[in-house]
Amino acid sequence: MTYSQIKAIFLLCILCFCFPQAKGSIFHRPKYNVYVWNALPNNSPILRVHCASKDDDIGFHNIAPTTNINWSFHASKLLKTMFFCHFWWKSNDKSFEVFNDLDTCVKDSNITARATVCQWTVKEDGFYLTDGQNVGYKYGDW
């Protein structure tokens, strides 16, 4: 390999790392959005939620009925991006991963299309997941 070929490859690598979010970049990572909706009855106790990843703490939130918390991020397959949430409502207490898969939000979900929206809905009987466009399904109980 000639010096000019090495130089060209080196410059290409620098450009790829300087502009990783540029469309068409080999390092382009799509933006994901996670929503946690409170669909509990209006007169019920407040839904308390804490969500985080190893790098980002979304914080503790009291979510009123018919409202949500949401956040966005760029996921990495290489770094295995994962977010979890811990939920408290009445005497119920549940925690699980709300994002751990770049295609289906969570590895064991019924979502079949590539999803960049992971919409969780909390109801009296459990937790529902949808990609924001298709009909959701019940993911689990309290």
pLDDT digits (tens, 9 = 90+) for 59-94: 999 999 999 999 999 987 777 899 999 999 999 999
Ordered by start, the domain boundaries in the chain are 29-140
pLDDT at 132: 79
CATH number of 29-140: 2.60.40
Q: What DSSP assignment string belongs to the chain?
A: --HHHHHHHHHHHHHHHH-TTSTT-TT---EEEEEEEE-S-TTSPPEEEEEE-SS-EEEEEEEPTT-EEEEEEE--TTTT--EEEEEEETTEEEEEEEE-BTTTBSTT----S--SEEEEEEETTEEEEE-SSS--EEEE--
pLDDT digits (tens, 9 = 90+) for 109-134: 888 778 899 999 999 999 999 987 87
